[in-house]
Amino acid sequence: MATKSYWDRIRRQRLTRRKMLAVTGVSAAGLAIAAACGGGDDDPDGGATPTEASGAPRFGGRYTYAIAADWGTIDPVTSVGLGPGIFPRIYNVLVDRSRLQPDFTYFDLAEKVEQPDEETYLFTIRPGVKIAPNTLGIEERDMDAADAMAWFDRIEADESALQRSFTTQWLDSVSAPDAMTFELKTAGPYAYTLFRIGAPLGGTMPPREFFEQDISLTDQGVGAGPWAVIEPGSYSNTGGMVVQRNPNYYRKAENGDTLPYIDTVEAVRISDRQPRRAAFIDGQIDNYGAEDREEADGLLSENPDFFVTENPANTFISFTMNPTREPWTDDRIRKAALFALNRQEFVDLVVGEGGGRPNGLVHWPLGDFALSPEELEELQPYDPAESRRLIQAATGSDSIDIPVIYPVSDIQFHDKHLPIFLKQMADAGFNVQEEPQDFTTWLGNYTTVSYDASLSLNQIYETAEIPLDWHAALGPQGDGNFAIGIGSIFPEVEEAILASKRETDAEAQIEAVLSAQRVIYDKGPAFLPIMSWTGFTMYQPYVKNIPQGLGGTGLFLTNEMWLDKA
Amino acid sequence: MRDYVIRRLLQGGVLLVVLSVAVFILLRIAPGADPAIIKCGLGCTEERLEAIREDLGLNNPYFPISIESSAPVVSFNGTNQYWTWIQELFSGSLGLDWNQEPVGDELKARLPATVELLIITIIVTVLLGVPFGIISAVYRNSPTDYGVRLGAILGLAIPNFWLATLVILIPIQMWGYAPPLIKTISFFDNPWDNLRQFVPPALVLGAVSAAGVMRLTRSSMLEVMRQDFIRTARSKGLKERIVIGRHALKNSVIPVVTVLGLQIAGLLGGAVIVETVFNIQGVGFYFLGALVRKDYQVVQTLTVYIGAIVIMLNLMVDILYAWLDPRIRYS
A540-565 pLDDT, tens digit per residue, is 999 999 988 888 888 899 999 999 98
Does A179 fall in a domain? Answer: yes
Q: B39 to chain A nearest CA, in Å?
A: 9
| A240, pLDDT greater than 90 | no
Facing A274 at nearest CB: one of B40, B168, B177: B168
Q: Which domain holds residue A335?
A: 315-533
| B52, pLDDT greater than 90 | no
Task: For A286, name the nearest residue in chain B, comparing CA atoms only.
Answer: B182
Long-range contacts of A417-421 (CB under 8 A, 24+ apart): A417/A317, A417/A346, A417/A350, A417/A455, A417/A530, A418/A455, A419/A10, A420/A10, A420/A345, A420/A346, A420/A349, A420/A350, A421/A319, A421/A341, A421/A455, A421/A530
Burial of A104 (0-12, 13-18, 19+ CB in 10 A): middle
Q: Which residues of B touch A70 (CB under 8 A)?
A: 99, 289, 293
Beta bridge partners of B262: none
Q: Return the closest-CA partner of residue B147 out of B158, B159, B136, B155.
A: B136
Same domain membership, residue A56 and residue A152: yes
Give the model confidence (pLDDT) of A400-436 as tens digits.
Answer: 999 999 988 666 667 788 999 999 999 999 999 999 8
Q: Does B131 touch chain A (CB under 8 A)?
A: no
Facing A238 at nearest CB: one of B33, B42, B286: B286
| A301, pLDDT greater than 60 | yes
Predicted local distance difference test score (pLDDT) of residue A252: 94
More confident residue, A408 or A533: A533
Which ranges constitute the DSSP H helices of B226-282?
Answer: 228-235, 240-242, 249-277
Q: How far apart are CA B135 and CA B152, in angstroms?
A: 13
Q: Does A18 touch chain B (CB under 8 A)?
A: no
Mean pLDDT of A66-95: 86
Predicted local distance difference test score (pLDDT) of residue A48: 41
* CB within 8 Å of B183: residues ≥ 6 apart: A240, A268, B281
Facing B42 at nearest CB: one of A33, A269, A279: A33
Facing A284 at nearest CB: one of B38, B182, B281: B182
Domain boundaries, chain B: 103-292
Predicted local distance difference test score (pLDDT) of residue A412: 60
Q: Return the closest-CA partner of residue A173 out of A146, A153, A158.
A: A153
More confident residue, A494 or A5: A494
In which element (H, E) is residue A415 found? helix A414-427
Does A11 fall in a domain? Answer: no
Contact B182 A285 (CB under 8 A): yes
Predicted local distance difference test score (pLDDT) of residue A34: 38
Facing B294 at nearest CB: one of A284, A440, A482: A440
Cα–Cα–Cα angle for A323, A329, A332, nearest 5°? 115
Contact B183 A24 (CB under 8 A): no
SS3 A549: coil
Does A49 fall in a domain? Answer: yes
Task: For B175, name the nearest residue in chain A, comparing CA atoms only.
Answer: A282
Q: How far apart are CA B289 and CA A165, in angstroms?
A: 30
Predicted local distance difference test score (pLDDT) of residue A409: 67
Predicted local distance difference test score (pLDDT) of residue A22: 26
Q: A292 to chain B nearest CA, in Å?
A: 18
Cα–Cα–Cα angle for B70, B75, B76, nearest 5°? 170
Q: Return the closest-CA partner of residue A64 out of A279, A268, A271, A306.
A: A268
Predicted local distance difference test score (pLDDT) of residue A311: 84
Q: How far apart are CA A226 and CA A203, in angstroms?
A: 16
- The tally of CA atoms less than 13 A away on the side-chain side of residue B166 is 8
Q: Which residues of B touch A66 (CB under 8 A)?
A: 182
More confident residue, B234 or A39: B234
| A36, pLDDT greater than 50 | no
Q: How far apart are CA B304 and CA B299, in angstroms?
A: 9
Whether B137 contacts B218, CB under 8 Å: yes
Burial of B51 (0-12, 13-18, 19+ CB in 10 A): middle
Measured from the Cβ of residue B282, the count of other Cβ atoms closer than 10 Å reads: 27
More confident residue, A10 or B239: B239
Same domain membership, residue A85 and residue A69: yes
Does A416 fall in a domain? Answer: yes
- How do A110-117 and A120-125 pair as beta strands? antiparallel
CATH number at residue A385: 3.10.105.10
Mean pLDDT of B180-202: 94
Give the model confidence (pLDDT) of A340-370 as tens digits.
Answer: 999 999 999 988 877 899 999 999 999 899 9
Whether A109 contacts A129, CB under 8 Å: yes
More confident residue, B179 or B246: B179
Q: What is the DSSP letter of A205?
A: B
- The tally of CA atoms less than 13 A away on the side-chain side of residue A159 is 13
Task: For A477, name the nearest residue in chain B, comparing CA atoms only.
Answer: B43
Q: Does A480 touch chain B (CB under 8 A)?
A: no
Cα–Cα–Cα angle for B168, B169, B175, nearest 5°? 95
Same domain membership, residue A255 and residue A344: no
Q: How far apart are CA B219 and CA B225, in angstroms?
A: 10
Q: A152 to chain B nearest CA, in Å?
A: 18
Same domain membership, residue A497 and residue A545: no
Q: Which of residues 231-270 of B touch A (CB under 8 A)?
A: none
| A37, pLDDT greater than 70 | no
Predicted local distance difference test score (pLDDT) of residue A12: 33
Give the model confidence (pLDDT) of A479-525 as tens digits.
Answer: 888 889 899 999 999 999 999 999 988 889 999 999 999 999 999 99
Q: Which range (A126-135, A256-265, A329-338, B43-52) has the least confidence?
A: B43-52
Q: Does A24 touch chain B (CB under 8 A)?
A: yes
Q: How far apart are CA A488 and CA A474, in angstroms?
A: 8
Predicted local distance difference test score (pLDDT) of residue A35: 32
Q: Which of residues 6-35 of B touch A (CB under 8 A)?
A: 31-33
Q: What is the DSSP letter of B236?
A: T
SS3 A246: coil
Q: Which residues of B touch A272 (CB under 8 A)?
A: 165, 276-277, 279
Does A447 fall in a domain? Answer: yes
Does A400 fall in a domain? Answer: yes
Q: What is the DSSP letter of A531?
A: E
More confident residue, A201 or B303: B303
Q: Report residue A32's pLDDT band, with 50, 70 and 90 as the boundaries.
A: very low
- How do A241-245 and A264-269 pair as beta strands? antiparallel
Predicted local distance difference test score (pLDDT) of residue B330: 66
Task: For B49, name the nearest residue in chain A, comparing CA atoms only.
Answer: A160
Same domain membership, residue A520 and residue A386: yes
Q: B85 to chain A nearest CA, in Å?
A: 22
Same domain membership, residue A146 and residue A112: yes
Amino acid identity, position A236: S
Same domain membership, residue A439 and residue A511: yes
Q: Does A473 touch chain B (CB under 8 A)?
A: no
Q: Report residue B137's pLDDT band, with 50, 70 and 90 as the boundaries.
A: very high
Q: What share of chain A is helix, strand, coil (3-state, %, to 5)?
A: 35, 20, 45
Farthest CA pair distance, chain B: 85
Q: How far apart are CA A430 and CA A426, in angstroms?
A: 5
Q: How far apart are CA A280 and CA A287, in angstroms?
A: 6
Whether A241 contacts A221, CB under 8 Å: no
Contact A441 B33 (CB under 8 A): yes
SS3 A409: coil
Supply the mean pLDDT for chain A: 86
Predicted local distance difference test score (pLDDT) of residue A275: 93
Whether A20 contacts A36, CB under 8 Å: yes
CATH class entry, domain B103-292: mainly alpha
* CB within 8 Å of A248: residues ≥ 6 apart: A130, A131, A132, A133, A140, A224, A258
SS3 A261: coil
Whether A34 contacts A40, CB under 8 Å: no
Does A550 fall in a domain? Answer: yes
More confident residue, A45 or A253: A253
Q: Return the closest-CA partner of residue A69 out of A100, A108, A93, A38.
A: A38
Mean pLDDT of B110-126: 94
CA distances for A5 relative to A2, A8, A11, A347, angstroms: 5, 5, 10, 18
Same domain membership, residue A332 and residue A268: no
Same domain membership, residue A545 and residue A497: no
Q: Report residue A143's pLDDT band, with 50, 70 and 90 as the boundaries.
A: very high
Amino acid identity, position A555: L
Q: Which residues of A touch B44 (CB under 8 A)?
A: 160, 447, 481
- How do A430-437 and A400-407 pair as beta strands? parallel
Same domain membership, residue A230 and residue A359: no
**Total domain count for chain A?**
2
Q: Which range (A32-41, B133-142, B152-161, B203-212) has the least confidence?
A: A32-41
Supply the mean pLDDT for chain B: 87
Whether A421 contacts A317, CB under 8 Å: no
Q: Does B43 touch chain A (CB under 8 A)?
A: yes
Task: For A446, name the nearest residue in chain B, comparing CA atoms only.
Answer: B42
CA distances for A251 relative to A43, A108, A179, B52, angstroms: 21, 9, 21, 40
Query: Is ipTM > 0.85 here?
Result: no
Same domain membership, residue A98 and residue A230: yes
More confident residue, A457 or B11: B11
CATH number at residue A98: 3.40.190.10
* CB within 8 Å of B115: residues ≥ 6 apart: none
In which element (H, E) is residue A94 found? none
Give the strands of the sheet with A241-245, arranged side by side.
A62-67, A264-269, A241-245, A227-228
Predicted local distance difference test score (pLDDT) of residue A40: 55
Mean pLDDT of A266-294: 92
Beta bridge partners of A130: A142
Residue A536 sits at φ, ψ, to 5 deg, of -125, 110
In which element (H, E) is residue A478 found? none
Give the model confidence (pLDDT) of B215-262 as tens digits.
Answer: 999 999 999 989 999 999 999 999 988 998 888 888 888 888 878 877
Share of chain A above pLDDT 70, in %: 89
Same domain membership, residue A248 and residue A152: yes
Q: Report residue B298's pLDDT band, with 50, 70 and 90 as the boundaries.
A: very high
Q: How far apart are CA A261 and CA B264, in angstroms?
A: 49
Does A15 fall in a domain? Answer: no
Burial of B14 (0-12, 13-18, 19+ CB in 10 A): exposed
Q: Does A448 touch chain B (CB under 8 A)?
A: no
Q: Report residue A293's pLDDT band, with 50, 70 and 90 as the boundaries.
A: confident
Whether B148 contacts B136, CB under 8 Å: yes
Q: How far apart are CA B81 and CA B61, in angstroms?
A: 6
Q: Report residue A52's pLDDT band, with 50, 70 and 90 as the boundaries.
A: low
Facing A278 at nearest CB: one of B39, B181, B276: B181
